[in-house]
Amino acid sequence: MRIISESQLAAVLARLPGSPRVVAGGNFATPRRALEILDEAVAEYRLFMLNAQGDLPDRAGVVLETPFVGAGMRGRRGLRYLPSRLSLVPLLLKGELPPDVVIVQTSPPAGGTVSLGIEVNILPAAIEAVRARGGLVIAQCNRRMPYTHGDAVLAEQEVDYAIEVDEPLPSPTPRPPGEVSRAIAERVAALVPQNATLQLGIGAVPDAVLESLRDRRGLAVWSEMFSDGVLALEKAGALDTKAPITASFAFGGQELYDWVDRNDRVRMLRTEKTNDPGLIARQPRLVSVNSALEVDLFAQANASRVNGAIYSGFGGQSDFVVGALHSPGGRAIIALPSWHPKADVSTVVPRLTGPATSFQHSFVVSEQGTATIWGRDAAEQARQLIDHVAHPDARDGLREAGRALGFPSL
């Protein structure tokens, strides 16, 4: 790894031929200064990121690509959305979408290594793919980036060039859970046994679920991500101190970043491991909790599209639903409010308005109640969703629509 100046990095990037594909760290570990230098030095390029946050280039010559849309790409004209389960994205990078440059944010060098810190995810696969074809690996070494273990650790020789920065890592805006989220969380928590292994997605409901689990004991974490709620479980004594906290990326407040720094209990693994349904299934009592935009009477969940437009993507939801169902004592839970306050519509619909993100869940939960899905016939699944999950104002219309869909007993 050669540490260079920003002007030297600009000169290196300016020599890139054609319209290179650049894979960069996403979530809250975006190498923002390095991307600014890229945008100034290269007229045309493709930028591939997962769950991109904040301001991104929005000009002619820049094509944004992603399998999971974050706030920084949502609604962008010309966005290339590439449908893929998160566990399969590394295969895209090694096959159909090979990178020419990979830009990551790392810790400062230590003992001949750097760490990817809070964002491992697909980056090891991207680095392997770009090195196999003679491309560049560039690091933005940030003294504020925690040093985490596992697949986060890179030998310095895996990086071609690096610039040095000293910038605070961003944190998500705190969103205190409302009354509906707390009611959902209490119902979900009732489905989580002692000594469970947890996977929770992103959003107000999963965060509220973690708050409701502080009285549990012996909990483990195997998840694609975690945030401040896991640290709260640690403080409450809810986590099994002998079990590693396994994830692929993390984001939260500064206290969380300080806690994960050189913490031997935190094991950051690449996506191919955390999201492998086979490895997920080996975790005992794996309880997967994810959100959705809507569910239909066929017990399918849409967490990807709103009115036909891409909102996020498959992410790891389908990976963990499958893995949880195969886990001994595992459960796959979809949690959502019964009514969408902004759109003023029911979130339980006769048929999905977008493609299914996942299906064959164990339970679907709203503030109204809990529908038991797994092991019930199709008509009973529909009945459970109407009677226990749907908002009362939507139930009569759903029964009528359900009869038209082939459920005459509703």
CA distance 148 to 262: 5
CA distance 215 to 211: 9
Q: Report whether 384 contacts 372 (CB < 8 A).
A: yes
Q: How many CB atoms lie within 10 A of CB 284?
A: 14
Q: Kindly name the residue from 158, 224, 272, 367 that is annotated as catalytic.
A: 224
CA distance 22 to 130: 10
In the annotation, is 224 catalytic? yes
Q: Report whether 322 contacts 269 (CB < 8 A).
A: no
Among candidate residues 160, 151, 372, 154, the one with its CA nearest the CA of residue 273: 151
CA distance 275 to 278: 9
Kindly compute the dihedral angle of the four CA atoms of residues 316, 23, 152, 317, in this order, to the nearest 10 degrees: 0
Active site residues: 224
